[in-house]
Amino acid sequence: MSTPPPDASAAAEPGAPGLLDAVRSACRLRHYSIRTETAYASWARRFCLFHRDAGGRPRHPEAMAEPEVVAFLAHLAEDRQVASSTQNQALAAILFLYEAVLDRPLDSLGAFPRAKRPKRLPVVLTRQEVEAVLSRLDGTHRLVASLLYGSGLRLLEGLRLRVKDVGLAEGHLVVREGKGDRDRVTVLPSVLAEPLRTQLDYVRALHARDVAAGQGSVYLPTAVARKYPGAATETGWQYVFPASRLSHDPRSGARRRHHLTESPIQKAVRRAAQAAGVEKPVSPHAFRHSFATHMLERGADIRTVQELLGHKDVRTTEIYTHVLNRGVRGVVSPLDGL
């Protein structure tokens, strides 16, 4: 007689031990980011809750297979009409669940309705619009947004900058563990040297107060924390944009000072764009798009822009050649020739 699968309702309910803890443990074993860990656990829970037995209880993945996976993915595409990236994340999470947690890799899933990935051009601001939005920001919000535009950073890359990675003398920033877990070096605008120097002085003073209070620790990548356990309290490893309060690490429970969160920056940029009368849907990422486009407009080589942005494939960078401020693909309308 076969052993019945673990209690699915307990495994799928929020905060219950079992399946979700196993997903988190498998993610940590593979050094996945906390965001990936949270997303994979959430999708495992939603997958179980979607499939219920006759009594209305969530079914355990051990009791399901490819047909249930296909049905869940089809539900996301057809009923929920999720974005293609969301459906792909759900698929990756469930494949991970069966392979890494249940040790039962799925066979071919066959054909199922896939959410279509629309082709979208990035939102790019003119130089005048960039200046207008930045002028309506102040303090840390303005410095972060200026770095996104001046150095081509993603928002999280800017917020995760460490003191040691700001090269004021060299005029560059070192971006660690960017998208695809790749490091790169990008330009540091000279006009931001003085504001960044002031920000670093603030970080050093704040860190000194934390250390004096018996705190001063910061999150470190796993390998660094293991090899250099004392590095967590070194000034060089502190975040350039620290949070105003200490918080507890969701994994270790340690009380640390993390970096600023994304939401306040996103809201500040939206408010500044509205105040500036910019009618485009402006988000912090629009500054990165504008950096790339304006670099190409100024004659920068596309391979150079690719390296500064950290794109793995130059075809990703080529999207900005379609939004250059030269008309559509450089074509002049025949109406303008009349």
Q: Which residue among the candidates 24, 51, 162, 311 is catalytic per the annotation?
A: 311
Q: For this structure, is 52 an active site residue?
A: no
Asked if 290 contacts 146 with a C-beta cutoff of 8 angstroms, the reply is no
DSSP readout, 76-111? IIIIS---HHHHHHHHHHHHHIIIIISS--------
Paired residues of 256 in beta bridges: 247
Has 30 been annotated as catalytic? no
Query: What is the distance between the alpha carbons of residues 220 and 236, in angstroms, rounded to a whole number?
Result: 12
Q: Is 154 a catalytic residue?
A: yes
Q: Do residues 134 and 145 make contact, with C-beta atoms less than 8 angstroms apart?
A: yes
Active-site residue, from 142, 164, 176, 179: 179
CB atoms within 10 A of CB 304: 13
Please pick, among 59, 154, 257, 294, the residue that the annotation labels catalytic.
154
Q: In whole angstroms, how far apart are CA 148 and each of 196, 287, 317?
A: 13, 6, 16
| Catalytic-labelled residue, pool 52, 114, 184, 285 | 285
- Asked if 227 is an active-site residue, the reply is no
Q: Is 311 a catalytic residue?
A: yes
Catalytic residue, candidates 60, 288, 289, 294: 288
CB 76, CB 93: distance < 8 Å: no
The yes-or-no answer on residue 32 being catalytic is no
Strand, helix or coil for residue 174: strand
Point out the residues that are catalytic: 154, 179, 285, 288, 311, 320
